[in-house]
Structure 1
Amino acid sequence: MPSNNCVIGSQGGTIAISVANERQKYIAGVIFIAPLVILNPESATPARMCCAKMLYCLMPNLILGYVDPRWLSRSQKEVKSFKNDPLNYHGPYRVRFTIQVLQAVAKLEKDLPTVTWPMLILHGEMDKLCDIRGSFLLYKVAASSDKTMKVFSKCFHQLHREVPNVTVEVFTLIGKWIADRLPPVE
């Protein structure tokens, strides 16, 4: 009997789709917060993709850039908290990591139509890190008969660390979604 629910965001969403799809009978449901499902076509142009692949062969440790913490949340308190937390990665993203992410996302296309587990997808309308069109694609293409999607207006990437009223709504929605799927108490 399935018993594993998980809340996943970003690149974890990419991984979760692949892993959960391989083990569907063990998955009771998955909750996504801004999953990375497709690449942003403005930044992942064919020319840039070709350059990234060449750089991977020549200089896999070349630094491509950093994530701007201001893209994570509208809450300045949360952005500051992210910056000051030594457990958060603040270093550069290198070509090697970028290529691995690109390869993982490319594999998702074939997995999406076979997704049958229940899912809740939450995404911020103003997310600059994970293209919201990926969440719409996941919702549209997944074969699951139990899927829910909510877009949070004017919100950024980390909905669980957004302004207080959004954070409360996110956790309330998640709690209700899980409670609605628990077996009745006898």
Structure 2
Amino acid sequence: MVMYFQSPPDAWTGLIFSAPLFVIPENMKPSKVHLFLYGLLFGLADTWAAMPDNKMVGKAIKDPAKLKIIASNPRRYTGPPRVGTMREIARMCQYVQDNFSRVTAPFLTVHGTADGVTCPTSSQLLYEKGSSVDKTLKIYDGMYHSLVQGEPDENAEIVLRDMREWIDERVARILYAVSWKSFLAGGMLSFASFTECDARFCPHERILLFGLMWLCVMVLYLFGCVCNPGVLFQSDNVFDNFSGVMAPFLTVHGTADGVTCPTSSQLLYEKGSSADKTLKIYDGMYHSLVQGEPDKNAEIVLRDMREWIDKRVARYGNKAKGLEEGI
């Protein structure tokens, strides 16, 4: 959920939450007084295993055979939660609860009523407060926290089936919208070619036939839009999505490019949201800046690309080195 909040608004087309931890169960909730007092120690208490211990593994795995396998893992932490861990869990749970209304993407959230690790109220609150117009809540009676790995196979299959159906339904919806666009475009081209090339029709007949066929296609297309109104309002214009470019980028173009317009690079540079963006315009160069230009021109372009890459490799390399050294 935190990743969703930190992403651009349209980056996610769907979310599935399996027993999410948005609300801490009462028997696991740390005392605010204790957290405050521990906080006065300026982080010295963060590693203390002094928080309420709920023996979570036994309340997460319902199937005895699977519980035995997971409980026997020698690397599994078996002590009480640490102070710093619980403080951050409490802080992030409150943050997520305060931002439920920002969830606008389609989502499915599933929870078991016997979940002893995360409270089913988490899913219920998300469903009630989320702003998405396409939201689904599934509550499974008697199931524990680990709905897929920890339940008996027949229960896990129910959960997986619901998830698959939720995904399939939305994928089909998207494909349906795309298919109508393709049908319209392909139909128009096919009918135009047919009426223009068939010598059996005089010009007036071809115009009339083309008009009738075009009308049929539009009727079918509008029928599809009635079934799925979102088709009318979808946009495939790349320019509409320039603001979603967040990564560092370099874009290069020649002013004499006769294949792609230099405005492409200029618009990307102007509208891209990246904080690290570079535009290079080469006077008099054509479209193929490396393979098609004279060697001296190609070397200029390649040099700019190498310098751009080297600068960022050095920047992020130093950052990674600093992290390794504990800076």
**TM-score of the superposition, structure 1-length normalised?**
0.81
Structure 1 residue 42 displacement after superposition: 4.9
Aligned positions of 1:133-144 closer than 5 A = 133-144=121-132
2:77 is aligned to 90
Pair member with larger Rg = 2
* Corresponding residue to 1:169 among 137, 141, 158: 158
Q: 2:47 matched to which residue of 1?
A: 61
Q: Aligned residue for 1:107?
A: 95
Query: 1:83, CA displacement in angstroms?
Result: 1.8
Q: SS of the residue aligned with 1:25?
A: coil
Superposed counterparts of 1:114-125, under 5 Å: 114-125=102-113
Residue 49 of structure 1 deviates from its aligned partner by 1.7
Q: Distance in 1 between matches of 2:70 and 2:13?
A: 31
AA of the residue aligned to 1:28:
T
Gaps of 5+ in 1: 1-16
**Kept in 2: contact 1:73–1:155 (CA 8 A):** no
- Among residues 173, 176, 184, which one is paired with 2:175 in the alignment? 184
- Render the CA deviation track for 1:89-134: whole Å, top value 9, x for unaligned: 4243211111111111111122101110111111010111111112
User: Equivalences for 1:150-161 in 2 at 5 Å?
Assistant: 150-161=138-149
Higher mean C-alpha displacement, 150-159 vs 31-40: 31-40
The aligned residue for residue 18 of structure 1 is: 2
Alignment-derived partner of residue 58 in structure 2: 70
How large is the RMSD of aligned CA atoms in angstroms? 2.0
Which has the larger strand fraction?
1
Task: Supply the distance in 2 between the matched residues of 1:20 and 1:53 (Cα, whole angstroms).
Answer: 29
In structure 2, what is the Cα distance between the partners aligned to 1:69 and 1:42?
15
Aligned length: 167
**What secondary structure is seen at the aligned counterpart in 2 of 1:26?**
coil
Q: Secondary structure at the match of 2:47?
A: coil
Unaligned 5+ segments in structure 2 are 180-327
Contact map agreement 1:119 1:148 (CA 8 A) in 2: yes
* 1:39 alignment partner in structure 2: 24
Identity across matched positions, percent: 20
TM score, norm. by length of structure 2 = 0.48
**Alpha-carbon distance in 2 for matches of 1:29, 1:91:** 35
Greater than 3 Å deviation, 4+ residue runs: 65-68
- Is the Cα contact below 8 Å between 2:28 and 2:54 reproduced in 1? no
Q: Which has the higher contact order (CA 8 A, sep 6+)?
A: 1
Deviation at 1:56, TM superposition (A): 4.1
Residues 111, 89 of structure 1: alpha-carbon distance in 2 compared, 3 angstrom cutoff:
farther
CA 1:116–1:129 in structure 2 vs 1: closer, same or farther (change >3 Å)?
same
Contact 2:116 2:144 in 1 (8 A): yes
| Aligned-residue offset at 1:54 | 1.6
